[in-house]
Amino acid sequence: MDIVETLGSGNGALECIDMHTAGEPTRIIVNGYPDLNGTLLEQRAQAKSHYDHIRRQLILEPRGHYDMYGALLRPQTEKTTSGEADIGVLFMTNDGYSTMCGHATIALGRFLVDTHDPKVFPNRDRLQYDSKSGIVNLRLHAPCGVLQVRVPALANGQKSDPSKPVSFTSVECFTTGLSIKIPLSPDDRWPQLKSSALITADFSYGGAFYCFVSAQELGFGQGLTSFDMDAMNIATKRLKAAIIRNPDMRHLYAHPEFDDLSFLYSVIVTDQNLGEPLGSSKGAETGLCFFSDQEVDRSPTGSGVSARLALAQARGTLVSGESWTYHSLVTLRKAKQSAFVGTLLDVQKEENNKCSRVRTQVEGYAYYTGRHTFFVEEADPLAQDGFLMSHLSKP
């Protein structure tokens, strides 16, 4: 079959590797994307303004689906040029470009150790292998900063070891609000709420900004043991909208340095009574993450784990060196050993009663699921811009 027009604006067919981390997909673009330049945040802006059709073609239907996730490798950024990072990445969701993604970082750790193609990863030979620990160390430049990734490896560091978890060290994480009262208008409410016009939630940053609220606080009395997913989707969507509309709450998701990072990425519904600890973890809990345009994370959400560790430190329930296990519904019910284990690392005390800044370690397992070469036929009216079935009923 003749290919009339390929994705990637003339750079050849767009090639991707697909992986999953605790059930959450990562579609890694390895070849064919148009060139970007400048800092990583400038490249992110270029991707949004000039090449967003490629994101839609790959992430949305008919090639993707509502909950697909993507990663675009960026071999050259200001951090790779300075020697502070080995490679950069941009993250893609169903409605844009996130600033941090833990599950994708875990998947990328394995892939970047396994690839030896200099066109995909020019700095592959720069990676250091520690023969004593069996670990390859990788520095990944994400929009939120540089992540230190540790990848268990075989064959003297030439291939990742899928039987052991990949881990990463976060950027600085911090809590922005504990037990915040969120007012709801009559239009914001949902049927499960019985009386209260206020919702109590916590806010924290783990490379992206999160709102954390218990299932019971939202009116789901059985927690995450048994609930209606459609009803939970409505509740979290209305809660997020109420927060974003309220100017008095903007400080809860305002980044102190970069405006591009100042947005509320997700609402995570928590159940602290559900889950089993792994290894030496002090305890466990379960979360359900609605992010971007109400995507549902199948994994425990890596950057969300970092944000939850910052919350635990702020509340005094974890101290440096202690670990906690974080489940998603998938890991809880399908494969408990696939849960993420988060460990609180460095804690920097802040003056003036501000919440401390912390660094965290998050570990989990990622696996390959496929390899794809995508293209768009010029005559195909449905594939040019992608679509979401769930949005077709909207005006």
Both tokens assigned to 303: 């950057």
Check if 101 is active-site: yes
Residue 161 makes CB contacts below 8 A (sequence gap 6+) with 134, 152, 153, 154
Which of 101, 144, 173, 355 is flagged as catalytic?
101
Contact 365, 162 (CB under 8 A): yes
* CA dist., res. 257 & res. 280, Å (int): 36
Sign of the CA dihedral 252, 91, 383, 381? positive
* CA dist., res. 278 & res. 150, Å (int): 19
* CA dist., res. 375 & res. 226, Å (int): 41
**Extended beta strands in the chain, E state:** 5-6, 14-21, 24-31, 70-74, 87-92, 128-130, 135-142, 145-154, 159-160, 166-169, 173-183, 198-205, 209-214, 264-271, 284-291, 295-296, 323-327, 340-348, 357-364, 366-376
Catalytic residues: 101
